[in-house]
Structure 1
Amino acid sequence: MSSSIVGGPRTGHFNRSGEQVVSRRIVTKSWNTINAQDSINGNNRVITPFRAVNNNGDYLARKNYTCGGPNPTSASKPGLKSRIGHILSSCDNSGVAGSSTNVKFVPDSSDYIKYKKLTSANKNYNDTSAGGDDHNGSYTYLMRVRR
Protein backbone atom coordinates (compact mmCIF):
# COMPACT_ATOMS: atom_id res chain seq x y z
CA MET A 1 0.00 0.00 0.00
CA SER A 2 1.16 3.51 -0.75
CA SER A 3 1.94 5.72 2.22
CA SER A 4 0.98 8.80 0.22
CA ILE A 5 -2.71 7.96 0.51
CA VAL A 6 -4.24 10.52 2.84
CA GLY A 7 -5.69 8.75 5.84
CA GLY A 8 -3.59 5.64 5.43
CA PRO A 9 -4.07 2.44 3.50
CA ARG A 10 -6.94 1.24 5.67
CA THR A 11 -10.28 2.93 5.97
CA GLY A 12 -12.40 2.68 9.04
CA HIS A 13 -12.63 3.93 12.58
CA PHE A 14 -9.59 4.53 14.74
CA ASN A 15 -9.84 5.70 18.31
CA ARG A 16 -8.95 9.36 18.19
CA SER A 17 -9.74 12.23 20.49
CA GLY A 18 -11.66 15.29 19.38
CA GLU A 19 -8.46 17.32 19.32
CA GLN A 20 -6.87 14.87 16.89
CA VAL A 21 -9.91 15.03 14.64
CA VAL A 22 -9.78 18.83 14.54
CA SER A 23 -6.02 18.76 13.87
CA ARG A 24 -6.48 16.34 10.98
CA ARG A 25 -9.25 18.48 9.53
CA ILE A 26 -7.07 21.61 9.66
CA VAL A 27 -4.19 19.77 7.99
CA THR A 28 -6.34 18.38 5.17
CA LYS A 29 -8.59 21.36 4.52
CA SER A 30 -6.27 24.31 5.18
CA TRP A 31 -2.79 23.00 4.47
CA ASN A 32 -3.67 21.10 1.32
CA THR A 33 -2.88 24.09 -0.89
CA ILE A 34 -0.28 24.80 -3.50
CA ASN A 35 1.56 27.07 -1.03
CA ALA A 36 2.49 24.07 1.12
CA GLN A 37 4.84 22.82 -1.61
CA ASP A 38 8.56 23.59 -1.76
CA SER A 39 8.34 24.93 -5.32
CA ILE A 40 5.65 26.09 -7.73
CA ASN A 41 6.32 25.96 -11.48
CA GLY A 42 10.04 25.56 -10.81
CA ASN A 43 10.18 28.60 -8.50
CA ASN A 44 11.49 27.75 -5.04
CA ARG A 45 9.68 29.13 -2.00
CA VAL A 46 11.43 32.20 -0.55
CA ILE A 47 9.38 32.65 2.62
CA THR A 48 9.40 30.19 5.51
CA PRO A 49 7.05 27.18 5.46
CA PHE A 50 5.14 28.68 8.41
CA ARG A 51 4.33 31.85 6.49
CA ALA A 52 3.59 29.94 3.28
CA VAL A 53 1.13 27.50 4.84
CA ASN A 54 -0.70 30.22 6.76
CA ASN A 55 -0.71 32.62 3.77
CA ASN A 56 1.21 35.24 5.73
CA GLY A 57 3.25 36.55 2.83
CA ASP A 58 3.99 36.40 -0.85
CA TYR A 59 5.42 33.01 -1.88
CA LEU A 60 8.33 34.63 -3.73
CA ALA A 61 8.61 37.60 -1.29
CA ARG A 62 7.79 40.13 -4.01
CA LYS A 63 7.24 43.71 -2.87
CA ASN A 64 4.04 45.52 -3.92
CA TYR A 65 3.15 42.78 -6.40
CA THR A 66 -0.29 42.79 -8.00
CA CYS A 67 -1.49 40.77 -10.93
CA GLY A 68 -5.16 40.94 -11.82
CA GLY A 69 -7.47 40.08 -8.98
CA PRO A 70 -10.87 41.44 -8.08
CA ASN A 71 -11.74 45.10 -8.07
CA PRO A 72 -12.28 46.21 -4.45
CA THR A 73 -14.99 48.66 -5.47
CA SER A 74 -18.19 47.26 -6.89
CA ALA A 75 -19.75 48.75 -10.00
CA SER A 76 -23.23 47.42 -9.34
CA LYS A 77 -25.04 50.56 -10.52
CA PRO A 78 -25.29 51.20 -14.26
CA GLY A 79 -22.93 53.87 -15.55
CA LEU A 80 -20.43 53.64 -12.67
CA LYS A 81 -18.22 51.04 -14.32
CA SER A 82 -16.48 53.58 -16.54
CA ARG A 83 -15.80 55.94 -13.61
CA ILE A 84 -14.36 53.36 -11.22
CA GLY A 85 -10.67 52.66 -11.65
CA HIS A 86 -9.01 49.30 -11.80
CA ILE A 87 -6.09 47.68 -10.06
CA LEU A 88 -2.82 48.23 -11.86
CA SER A 89 -1.22 44.95 -12.80
CA SER A 90 2.50 44.31 -12.80
CA CYS A 91 2.46 40.62 -13.66
CA ASP A 92 5.61 38.59 -14.06
CA ASN A 93 5.93 35.28 -15.89
CA SER A 94 6.56 33.15 -12.80
CA GLY A 95 3.12 31.54 -12.79
CA VAL A 96 2.90 32.01 -9.01
CA ALA A 97 -0.16 33.86 -7.76
CA GLY A 98 0.35 36.95 -5.69
CA SER A 99 -0.45 36.98 -2.02
CA SER A 100 -3.93 37.99 -0.92
CA THR A 101 -3.07 38.95 2.62
CA ASN A 102 -1.52 41.70 4.70
CA VAL A 103 2.16 40.88 4.19
CA LYS A 104 3.13 43.11 7.13
CA PHE A 105 1.13 40.99 9.59
CA VAL A 106 3.28 39.54 12.38
CA PRO A 107 1.81 36.31 13.77
CA ASP A 108 1.69 35.65 17.48
CA SER A 109 3.94 33.02 19.09
CA SER A 110 0.86 30.90 19.81
CA ASP A 111 0.28 30.68 16.04
CA TYR A 112 3.79 29.27 15.58
CA ILE A 113 3.31 26.78 18.42
CA LYS A 114 0.06 25.63 16.82
CA TYR A 115 1.87 25.30 13.48
CA LYS A 116 4.61 23.12 15.01
CA LYS A 117 1.99 20.96 16.73
CA LEU A 118 0.08 20.48 13.47
CA THR A 119 3.33 19.76 11.61
CA SER A 120 4.06 16.88 13.96
CA ALA A 121 0.47 15.65 13.60
CA ASN A 122 0.88 15.81 9.83
CA LYS A 123 3.95 13.54 10.02
CA ASN A 124 1.83 10.91 11.77
CA TYR A 125 -1.19 11.39 9.52
CA ASN A 126 -1.02 7.92 7.96
CA ASP A 127 -0.29 6.14 11.24
CA THR A 128 -2.96 3.45 11.42
CA SER A 129 -1.73 2.04 14.73
CA ALA A 130 -3.33 4.88 16.74
CA GLY A 131 -0.09 5.52 18.59
CA GLY A 132 0.96 1.92 19.13
CA ASP A 133 2.49 -0.90 17.17
CA ASP A 134 0.80 -2.34 14.08
CA HIS A 135 1.51 -5.83 15.30
CA ASN A 136 2.64 -7.53 18.47
CA GLY A 137 6.35 -7.34 17.52
CA SER A 138 7.57 -4.91 20.15
CA TYR A 139 5.71 -6.69 22.95
CA THR A 140 7.13 -10.07 21.89
CA TYR A 141 10.64 -8.63 21.82
CA LEU A 142 10.21 -7.21 25.33
CA MET A 143 8.94 -10.53 26.62
CA ARG A 144 12.05 -12.28 25.24
CA VAL A 145 14.29 -9.76 26.98
CA ARG A 146 12.52 -10.24 30.31
CA ARG A 147 12.88 -14.07 30.38
Structure 2
Amino acid sequence: MAELLTGKKALSFARPEIDRNLAISFVSAIKEDRLLQILEDHIVSEGNIEQLKEIANLAKQCLSVRGEDRPFMKEVAKELERLRSMEKTPLGNIDVDGKKTEYLLSATSHSFNIDVGTGCSTSTIAEYDSIREQELKSVEDGR
Protein backbone atom coordinates (compact mmCIF):
# COMPACT_ATOMS: atom_id res chain seq x y z
CA MET A 1 0.00 0.00 0.00
CA ALA A 2 2.85 2.37 0.79
CA GLU A 3 4.22 1.83 -2.72
CA LEU A 4 0.83 2.62 -4.25
CA LEU A 5 0.32 5.73 -2.14
CA THR A 6 3.79 7.16 -2.74
CA GLY A 7 4.61 5.85 -6.22
CA LYS A 8 8.00 4.73 -4.88
CA LYS A 9 9.68 1.35 -4.89
CA ALA A 10 10.07 -0.49 -1.57
CA LEU A 11 13.86 -0.19 -1.76
CA SER A 12 15.84 2.21 -3.93
CA PHE A 13 19.51 3.09 -3.84
CA ALA A 14 18.73 6.11 -6.05
CA ARG A 15 17.15 7.84 -3.04
CA PRO A 16 19.15 9.42 -0.19
CA GLU A 17 20.29 6.87 2.41
CA ILE A 18 17.70 7.98 4.96
CA ASP A 19 14.88 7.40 2.42
CA ARG A 20 16.13 4.21 0.73
CA ASN A 21 13.79 1.94 2.66
CA LEU A 22 10.23 3.02 1.89
CA ALA A 23 8.74 1.26 4.93
CA ILE A 24 10.98 3.18 7.33
CA SER A 25 10.53 6.55 5.61
CA PHE A 26 6.75 6.01 5.28
CA VAL A 27 6.28 5.25 8.99
CA SER A 28 8.58 8.15 9.89
CA ALA A 29 6.59 10.56 7.71
CA ILE A 30 3.34 9.54 9.42
CA LYS A 31 4.85 9.97 12.90
CA GLU A 32 6.23 13.40 11.95
CA ASP A 33 2.94 14.50 10.34
CA ARG A 34 4.56 14.73 6.88
CA LEU A 35 2.24 12.27 5.17
CA LEU A 36 0.95 14.64 2.50
CA GLN A 37 4.53 15.45 1.48
CA ILE A 38 5.34 11.84 0.57
CA LEU A 39 2.06 10.88 -1.12
CA GLU A 40 1.76 11.17 -4.89
CA ASP A 41 0.43 14.59 -5.87
CA HIS A 42 -2.55 13.27 -7.84
CA ILE A 43 -3.65 11.15 -4.87
CA VAL A 44 -3.58 14.17 -2.56
CA SER A 45 -5.40 16.41 -5.03
CA GLU A 46 -8.10 13.83 -5.85
CA GLY A 47 -8.55 12.21 -2.44
CA ASN A 48 -10.23 12.97 0.84
CA ILE A 49 -7.41 13.92 3.25
CA GLU A 50 -8.99 12.18 6.25
CA GLN A 51 -9.50 8.98 4.26
CA LEU A 52 -5.92 9.17 2.99
CA LYS A 53 -4.70 9.43 6.58
CA GLU A 54 -6.77 6.39 7.57
CA ILE A 55 -5.43 4.41 4.61
CA ALA A 56 -1.88 5.48 5.45
CA ASN A 57 -2.33 4.39 9.07
CA LEU A 58 -3.63 1.05 7.84
CA ALA A 59 -0.54 0.74 5.63
CA LYS A 60 1.59 1.62 8.66
CA GLN A 61 0.01 -1.25 10.60
CA CYS A 62 0.82 -3.58 7.70
CA LEU A 63 4.45 -2.48 7.89
CA SER A 64 4.83 -3.47 11.54
CA VAL A 65 8.01 -5.46 12.16
CA ARG A 66 6.23 -7.95 14.41
CA GLY A 67 3.95 -10.22 12.43
CA GLU A 68 1.41 -10.53 15.24
CA ASP A 69 0.98 -6.74 15.20
CA ARG A 70 0.07 -6.71 11.50
CA PRO A 71 -3.62 -6.99 10.55
CA PHE A 72 -4.98 -10.00 8.70
CA MET A 73 -5.55 -9.42 4.99
CA LYS A 74 -9.29 -9.91 5.54
CA GLU A 75 -9.21 -7.08 8.09
CA VAL A 76 -7.33 -4.86 5.65
CA ALA A 77 -9.82 -5.63 2.88
CA LYS A 78 -12.80 -4.92 5.16
CA GLU A 79 -11.31 -1.62 6.32
CA LEU A 80 -10.58 -0.53 2.75
CA GLU A 81 -14.13 -1.49 1.75
CA ARG A 82 -15.50 0.47 4.72
CA LEU A 83 -13.53 3.54 3.67
CA ARG A 84 -14.65 3.14 0.07
CA SER A 85 -18.31 2.85 1.07
CA MET A 86 -18.03 5.91 3.35
CA GLU A 87 -17.06 7.89 0.27
CA LYS A 88 -20.41 6.99 -1.31
CA THR A 89 -22.52 7.57 1.82
CA PRO A 90 -24.17 10.98 2.19
CA LEU A 91 -22.98 12.85 5.30
CA GLY A 92 -26.46 12.82 6.80
CA ASN A 93 -26.41 9.03 7.12
CA ILE A 94 -22.99 8.74 8.75
CA ASP A 95 -22.89 7.87 12.43
CA VAL A 96 -20.46 10.70 13.22
CA ASP A 97 -20.11 10.13 16.95
CA GLY A 98 -20.17 6.33 16.65
CA LYS A 99 -22.91 5.85 19.26
CA LYS A 100 -25.17 3.77 17.02
CA THR A 101 -22.28 1.63 15.85
CA GLU A 102 -20.95 1.10 19.38
CA TYR A 103 -24.43 0.16 20.60
CA LEU A 104 -24.81 -2.43 17.86
CA LEU A 105 -21.33 -3.82 18.42
CA SER A 106 -21.81 -4.14 22.16
CA ALA A 107 -25.22 -5.85 21.95
CA THR A 108 -25.25 -9.15 23.79
CA SER A 109 -26.44 -12.46 22.49
CA HIS A 110 -30.04 -13.33 23.28
CA SER A 111 -32.00 -16.48 22.85
CA PHE A 112 -35.52 -17.34 23.82
CA ASN A 113 -37.45 -20.52 24.30
CA ILE A 114 -41.07 -21.32 23.59
CA ASP A 115 -42.89 -24.15 25.27
CA VAL A 116 -44.79 -25.76 22.42
CA GLY A 117 -47.09 -27.76 24.65
CA THR A 118 -47.51 -31.03 26.49
CA GLY A 119 -45.22 -33.83 25.45
CA CYS A 120 -42.96 -31.53 23.47
CA SER A 121 -39.66 -30.28 24.68
CA THR A 122 -38.82 -26.61 24.79
CA SER A 123 -37.08 -25.51 21.61
CA THR A 124 -34.74 -22.63 21.01
CA ILE A 125 -36.33 -20.61 18.28
CA ALA A 126 -33.69 -18.00 17.52
CA GLU A 127 -30.39 -16.64 18.72
CA TYR A 128 -29.07 -13.18 17.98
CA ASP A 129 -25.30 -12.68 18.03
CA SER A 130 -23.72 -9.28 18.17
CA ILE A 131 -22.18 -7.93 15.01
CA ARG A 132 -18.76 -8.00 16.65
CA GLU A 133 -18.94 -11.74 17.35
CA GLN A 134 -19.98 -12.46 13.77
CA GLU A 135 -17.13 -10.34 12.42
CA LEU A 136 -14.58 -11.95 14.73
CA LYS A 137 -15.66 -15.41 13.61
CA SER A 138 -15.10 -14.53 9.96
CA VAL A 139 -11.76 -12.80 10.61
CA GLU A 140 -10.28 -15.74 12.52
CA ASP A 141 -9.95 -17.70 9.26
CA GLY A 142 -6.39 -16.55 8.63
CA ARG A 143 -4.19 -13.82 7.22
TM-score, scaled relative to structure 1:
0.24
- Give the structure with the higher percent strand: 2
Higher relative contact order (CA 8 A, sep 6+): 1
